Each structure stands twice: as C-alpha cells, then as structure tokens.
Structure 1
Amino acid sequence: MQRPSRYQRILTWLDRSVLQRLRSDEVRTATQLAIPFWIASVATGIIAYLYEKGFSWAEAVCREWLEAVPPLAFLLTPVAFLLAWGLVYKLAPAARGSGIPQVMAALELANPGHDHKVGYLVGLKVAVVKIISSMLLLLGGGIIGREGPTIQVSASVFRWISHWQPKNWPQLSRKIVLVTGGAAGLAAAFNTPLGGIVFVVEELTRTHITHFRTPVFTAVIIAGMTAQAFLGPYLYLGYPPVSPTGISFLGVASVTAACAGLAGAAFAKLLDTINTYRKRWSSTKGQIGWVLGCGLLFAGLIFLFGPDAMGTGKPLINRLLFNPFSHVAWYIFPVRLAGMVLSYSSGAAGGVFATSLSAGAVLGKLLAGWLYVAPAHTNMVILVAMVSFLTGVVRSPFTAAILVVEMTDRNMVIFPLLVGGLVAQLTATLVDRHSLYERLKLTFFKEALQQPGTPAAL
C-alpha cells in the first residue's frame, strides 16, 4: 500500500481538526474544493518568481561572457544547446518547446478514457526538466521566453496537488485543474491577471467560462499576488511614453498590423515546416548533429550581430520604447527570426511568447521609420506591431492586446491594439488557417496516445 505524502497527511489533519467543525455541508465542500487550488496557486507564484530570477541570471551571465569574449559563442552556444536538448530527450520529451500546446493537448486527453496519458504532458518530472532545459538554452544565448514554459509548469503543479488531495474530498474535473493552472501560470509569469483570464477563454478552452469562472479567478488572483509579494508590483515593460492618437492613426495601425500579422504567421509556418523536416533525423546521432548544427549557426549570428541577436529580447524592447533616439538596423529583424527558429528547433525547452513580442517591437520600429510616423507616435506603432506579430503566431488577438496593455499600464492604447490584433488575425489566415499552437497540439496529442501512461505523481 502506498504511503500518503506529507502534503496529503497535512490535508487529512486539516480535514479532521478544522473542516469537520464547519456546520454547513455546503461551506465544507466549497472549502475542500478551494484549498488545493489555493495551495497550488501560491506554489505557482513562488515558482514563477524563482523562474524569473533564474532566467534573468542566465541571460545576464550569457551577455556578460559573450560581450567580453565574442568567439566564446562558438563553444558556449553549441554546448548549451546540446545539454538543453539532451536533458529533454533523455528524461521528458514532452518538455520541449513552448508548453502551451502540451497543455492544450492535455485538455483533449483529460477524460476517463485517456486521463492516464495526461501525465506524459504535464507532470512534476516534465516541469523540472522544462525549467532546467530552458535556463541552459538561455545560458547559451537562445532566443526563448519563459511564459509558455511557466504555463506548462503551473498546470503540472495544479495536477499534482489535485491528485494528492484526500480521496474523500470532492474532486474537480481534470480539465478545470489544467485550465486553472494555465491561467495562473500566465498571470504569475507576466503579472497580467486579466491576460490570464482572457487566455483561458480564447486559447485553452472553447467551453463556456461559467464552468471555470471561480477556480480561474481565484487562482489568477492568488498566484499573481504571490509573485508580486516577491517581485513587487512590477510591470513587464514599465511605463513607456505614449501620446494620444486620433482616428487618422487607425490607417497606420492597420498597415502595421497587416505587415506584422503576415510576418508572424510566416514565421510560425516556417517553424512548423522546419520541425517537420527535422523528423527525418530520427537516429540519436542525427539528432545530436542537428542540435550542434543549430548551436553553431546561432553562435555565428551572435558573433556577427552581437547582443541584439540573442536572449529573450526584453532589453531590446525596453531600449526601443524608452529611448526615442534608439536605432535598430533592418537586418536585426530577420536575424532574431532566424535565432528564434534555431533555438526552438533545437528540441530544448523554451517559449515564443516574449520573443514574438521582441520581434514585433523591432518590426514596429522599422515600420514607424518607413511610414514616416511622427516620433511622438512611434511607441504606439511599436506596441501595435508587438500585438500583431504575436497574434500572427498564436492567433489570440484579445489575449495579445490585453497582455501588452497590462505590461505597460497604458489603458489609452487598448483600442488601437485591439484593431491591430483583429487585422493581424485576418491577414495571418492568408498564410495559414491554423496557428502554430494548434499544429503542435496535434503532434503532442498523437505522441501522448502512443505512451503507456505516466502517474500524476511524476
């Protein structure tokens, strides 16, 4: 007989010593349903904080090393790529890539017939491998983000804690657990509670929000407040100066959105094509050769183009938004796209949320110059391009717009961003009717079905 975990013993003690004193069965049931979510939400906030600190450390160390000795990239980057890939390849193949498609696939599998397959996509082992692999990749300069990985890690934590609650407690559905974990993860990663809620409605589930409302709202609030307790009331992008615009700006916003949406969709299509092509290298030696090739090519980009060609891109976004005299060369945009493709295609862990925002910021800066936009309105063009490029990749215009508004605390930009997101959504369908996440979700769904199943504890 399996011995109860410490967490389970604590909940059992709480049930006997505290909850049994509640006179109302309805209140007791509601409390029993809520406690696991509260615990998981606090854990998510703490993990998101530690993950952010680890990411910042890895990016700063990599930048310091490669700025001091640029040729070091040809050693550091391939080795980091290989280690990051090897960890995923040997221990948790489902930890590769973003993490959002894995949660989407897990939701499809979260039913009585396939629930035992969900552990392959979201579990504690997957979460640990995800965090370590992504930090190794970033230590080598990889152009990746932590937002998608945080969502998968959070869903894993929620599922694990839900699995270990006492069996005599009322059980929420597995789908509610995963959806709530995803929302809490995004809210804690970006400090964007509304973005987490909209993300659930727009991306993770197509069912009515009524079924998920209370757990999602509670988890988002607790996870976000926990992260804020450590990081403070931070904004991911600070308070960039933005000047009011009139109705005439919608023309510029629409052109910017169309260009950025097409670019985002083309990038997603390219990424999917390369990932499909990579499957030809099925042997272990072939995989190692592919990863080392990605690392060496990316090292060449870093050596030739410097710090702008590596990392999450957050310093680059801040430079463009807060320095009106900043300049970015036109070739940085294709260079960052190439770096994103090489990083993601390595097979290690890493997301595309934050990096898509940085690519959109660079494109927005370039478009503002090509369209002769007044300096006072350049930041607005950059923000519209960020939303539009991200929309082209993930096809979630409202999530993208709300995220950028919450990152900047600039409510006045909401309407141009919404217009940009909708225009980008329309133009992106000219390249591909399906988003990158939808295509990757199908891959992970089929992959999980072929597995024997993984216990929730793992």
Structure 2
Amino acid sequence: MPLKALPRLLRIHSARFQRRAVFLIGGVVVGGGAAAMALLADAAQSEFRKTLQLSPYLPLVLTPLGFALSVYLTRRFFPNSQGSGIPQVIAAREFDDQADRQKLVSLKIAFGKILLTLLGLLCGGSVGREGPTVQVGASVMFEAGRLSPRRQRGWILAGASAGVAAAFNTPLAGIVFGIEEMSQSFELRTSGLILGTVIAAGVTSQALLGDYTYFGTTGAVLHGWRDWACVPMCGILGGLAGGLFSRLLIAMARGLPGQLGALIKANPIAFAAACGFLVGLCGVASNGVTYGTGYQEVTALLHQHGGPGQGFGVFKFIATALSAISGIPGGIFSPSLAVGAGLGANVAAFLPGATLEAVIVLGMVSYFTGVVQAPITAFVIVTEMTGNHAMIMPIMAAAFIAHWTSKLICPQGIYHALARNFLSLGAARGSH
C-alpha cells in the first residue's frame, strides 16, 4: 500500500468509527429516556388515581380541562407532536429536505412529546407511552445524525426501533418493528448499526429498570377444542374491531365532511375538551378502569387477580378512540393491548371451560394486529411481553387472521395512512 494512501484510509476508518460510536451513544440516550419516561408515566397515573379517591366524578372536570390544555400547548408550542408520533417518524424518513424532517423529529418535539404525554396520563387520557417513545427516539437519533445527513433515514429508523425495544423491554420486537412497519424493508447498509442501537437502548433500559417481562410471565397453553376455537374467533373479532378503530382515526385525521367536520376543524380545543368529557364518562361508567395505559388491568386479567369486568374491552375501546381523535399527544400501543385483553376475556366467557389466560393473549395479539396491521411485529411483541413461547404458533395464526380481517374494514395501515397527511403538508409547501 502506498504511504500516501494511508491518511485517506485513516480518515475513512475514523469517520466510520465515529458514526458507529454515535449510534451506540444514541442508543444509550434513547434507552435512558425510555426508562425515565416509564417511571414518570407510572408516577403520573398514580397521581391521577389519587384524584379518583377524592371523587370518582372529578374526571368529568379534570379530563376535559387537561385535554383542552394539552391540545392548546401542542398547537401553540409543539406542533406535529400530536398522536402517537409514529406517523410523523414515517413521514420524516420519506422527506429529503432537512427542514421538513426537523418539523417532525427534533429535540424540541421530543421534549414536548414527553411533557404532553405525561399530561395526558395525569388527566386520565387512555393513552400509552410506547408510541411517543418512538418519536422521541427518532428525534434523538435525528439530531445525532446531523454528522451524516446523507444517511438520515437510517438514523431515524434506528432511533424508532430503539424506542420500541426500550419501551417494552422487547429487543427483538424493536428490530422487527423497524423492518416491518417503519421501513417495510431491510436496509442492508444500516442494519448492523440499527441492531447496535437497539441493543444499546435495551441494555440501558434494563440496567435502569431491571430485566423484566412487561406483563409478567404466563405459561398458559391451548388444550381442548374450546381453546383452539378461540384462535379464529379472536382473530376475526380482533381484526374487525381493530380495523374499525383504524378507519375511525384515519377518517377523523382527514376531516369529516360537511358542517360537523368544519366545526371540529375550527374549534380543536373545544373538541378536545368534549372528547375529554366523554372519556371521563367512560371512566365513571366502568368504575375507573379505562383511564391510563391499561397496564394494571391487563396484568390483573392475565394473572387472575380480579380483572376489570366484562365491559372493560368495550369501554376501553371507546376511551382510547376518543383520546386518539382528540389531538392530544399519546400512543395507542398499550391501550390497544388492553382492549384486546378485554376482548379475549369476552371470548373466553362465551366458551366456558376455555383457558382464560391463553385466550386473553390471543385477544391481545388479534386486536393489536387489527389496529396496526403489522402481524409479525404484533406476535413478536406479545410473545416477548408475556414470556409465553409455548403459544407462538396459535399467536401467529391469530395475528395473520386478524390482519386479513382488518384489511376488509381498513385497507390502509393506520400509521402509513396518517403519515400521508404529514407528507402532503410537505408537498404543499414545496409547491409554493
């Protein structure tokens, strides 16, 4: 090798080393942020439950005011932080212009996302923290990726995947989510760095929160014909309900036709308050089990510690839909799993003798698949979250049945359909 070529090689290898180091450091930051968000979300829900001890009717005032404040702050200070944040991340990967990307993923948006998601939980919204963690992770890696702007899509994808892995403590699901939902392909140039970022985020989250299974471990398996009959039942019902939920959110995001749609568009804060009041009514009618992420209710159902009752799935569906269309920042991952658990409990009650825990797991994966239409991500997440590898085949079957059924109701995947709204805004700016 000529000596004059040595400096050039050193520069190339130095740049590669720096890029890989930044990916790993970014993963550590995302993992730490996810752990902090988990602890803060638990604290916010705990504070809200204290208000219920004062009066179960207090959310009829607190929740509308909280929703209205959240939408005002979102529109005034943190635009494009509404909803789960996953559509924004998908759209950011599609843009070529850095300015357009920065309007969807940035440290300012990450801060607002964390703050306003916690506000939603503090006032009783039926929202989750996992989707927001995806936008936060993508925002962190976007800022880090300024060192290599030509590979921004890979940086954003790595941050989003790391966010899922750290939020659920499911590293494999984070990788699958990045491939199936975020990129819809496997990007060979960045795959190794994405894996490194996911591992760094997962290790950091585990170091701070401990190595745990999200919903605890369940060893439930399918036994008789009643249990196996629940596979297509849960798949079909979960797919139909999840498709209906997605279609509703897509329609509301695009705007309803006529005077009603115009009225909602002209009064977003008042509409958010109205949604908050209805969420409060759902909470009152369900004895308070529909508020928050649904984590405690799912855990109680899975481990038979006094579940929330047969109406839980329906009320949680309504509360989650209202929270999602209101415009407040907050995710739908955990609430969707909670709705699915309630659906599974209903199916098990319809077939006396069916194994309750197993059917609840089938309901979770079915409804979650019906909503996100990412069956591989769904069954990997549910399997990792419950530690139940004995049921992987029926879980997979229920997920694919739900996926096909959901497509009949909602042909478009919810995140990519919502991402088109943000992409169209960028296209409109470019045309002027």
TM-score (norm 1): 0.87
Return the alpha-carbon distance in structure 2 between the equivalents of residues 116 and 92 of structure 1. 16
Partner of 1:360: 340
For residues 11-55 of structure 1, the C-alpha deviation after alignment (integer angstroms, 9 at most, x for no partner) is xxxxxxxxx999855542331220211221111011111111111
Answer yes or no: is 1:304 the counterpart of 2:285. Answer: yes
CA contact (8 A) 2:221 2:390 kept: no
Return the alpha-carbon distance in structure 1 between the equivalents of residues 7 and 357 of structure 2. 57
CA contact (8 A) 2:145 2:151 kept: no
Q: CA deviation at 1:85?
A: 1.0
Return the alpha-carbon distance in structure 2 between the equivalents of residues 396 and 78 of structure 1. 33
Classify 1:292/1:248 alpha carbon distance in 2 versus 1 (closer, same or farther; 3 Å).
closer
Partner of 2:3: none
Q: 2:125 aligns with which of 120, 135, 142?
A: 142
Partner of 1:117: 100
Return the alpha-carbon distance in structure 1 between the equivalents of residues 299 and 29 of structure 2. 29
Partner of 2:16: 30
For residues 73-109 of structure 1, the C-alpha deviation after alignment (integer angstroms, 9 at most, x for no partner) is 1221111111111111101221000111111111111
Q: CA deviation at 1:171?
A: 5.7
The SS at the match of 2:218 is coil
Return the alpha-carbon distance in structure 1 between the equivalents of residues 150 and 299 of structure 2. 42
Partner of 2:294: 313
Return the alpha-carbon distance in structure 2 between the equivalents of residues 327 and 234 of structure 1. 22
Answer yes or no: is 1:62 the counterpart of 2:48. Answer: yes
What pairs up with 1:141-290 in 2 under 5 angstroms?
Answer: 141-163=124-146, 165=147, 173-243=151-221, 245=223, 249-275=227-253, 276-277=255-256, 280-281=262-263, 286-290=267-271
Q: CA deviation at 1:212?
A: 2.6
Partner of 2:415: 437
Answer yes or no: is 1:39 the counterpart of 2:17. Answer: no
Q: 1:393 aligns with which of 371, 384, 397?
A: 371
Return the alpha-carbon distance in structure 2 between the equivalents of residues 106 and 127 of structure 1. 14
| Higher mean C-alpha deviation, range 26-35 or range 308-317 | 26-35
Unaligned runs of 5+ in 2: 1-5
Query: How many pairs align?
Result: 421
CA contact (8 A) 2:121 2:127 kept: yes
CA contact (8 A) 1:107 1:178 kept: yes
CA contact (8 A) 2:340 2:364 kept: yes
Q: CA deviation at 1:448?
A: 3.6
For residues 202-250 of structure 1, the C-alpha deviation after alignment (integer angstroms, 9 at most, x for no partner) is 1111333423310110000000101111101021111124135479854
Unaligned runs of 5+ in 1: 1-19, 453-458
Classify 1:262/1:373 alpha carbon distance in 2 versus 1 (closer, same or farther; 3 Å).
farther
Equivalent residue letter for 1:120: K
Answer yes or no: is 1:98 the counterpart of 2:84. Answer: yes
TM-score (norm 2): 0.92
Return the alpha-carbon distance in structure 2 between the equivalents of residues 150 and 441 of structure 1. 17
Partner of 2:317: 337
Return the alpha-carbon distance in structure 2 between the equivalents of residues 55 and 339 of structure 1. 18
Return the alpha-carbon distance in structure 2 between the equivalents of residues 230 and 120 of structure 1. 31
CA contact (8 A) 2:70 2:119 kept: yes
| Higher mean C-alpha deviation, range 84-93 or range 351-360 | 84-93
The SS at the match of 1:121 is coil
Classify 1:240/1:120 alpha carbon distance in 2 versus 1 (closer, same or farther; 3 Å).
same
Return the alpha-carbon distance in structure 2 between the equivalents of residues 225 and 148 of structure 1. 20
CA contact (8 A) 2:128 2:332 kept: yes
Q: CA deviation at 1:172?
A: 5.5
Partner of 2:349: 369
Q: CA deviation at 1:372?
A: 2.4
Return the alpha-carbon distance in structure 2 between the equivalents of residues 356 and 283 of structure 1. 26
For residues 281-306 of structure 1, the C-alpha deviation after alignment (integer angstroms, 9 at most, x for no partner) is 3666x222211211222222222322
Q: CA deviation at 1:449?
A: 3.7
Q: CA deviation at 1:68?
A: 2.9
Return the alpha-carbon distance in structure 2 between the equivalents of residues 355 and 186 of structure 1. 15
| Higher mean C-alpha deviation, range 224-233 or range 428-437 | 428-437
Partner of 2:274: 293
Partner of 2:71: 85
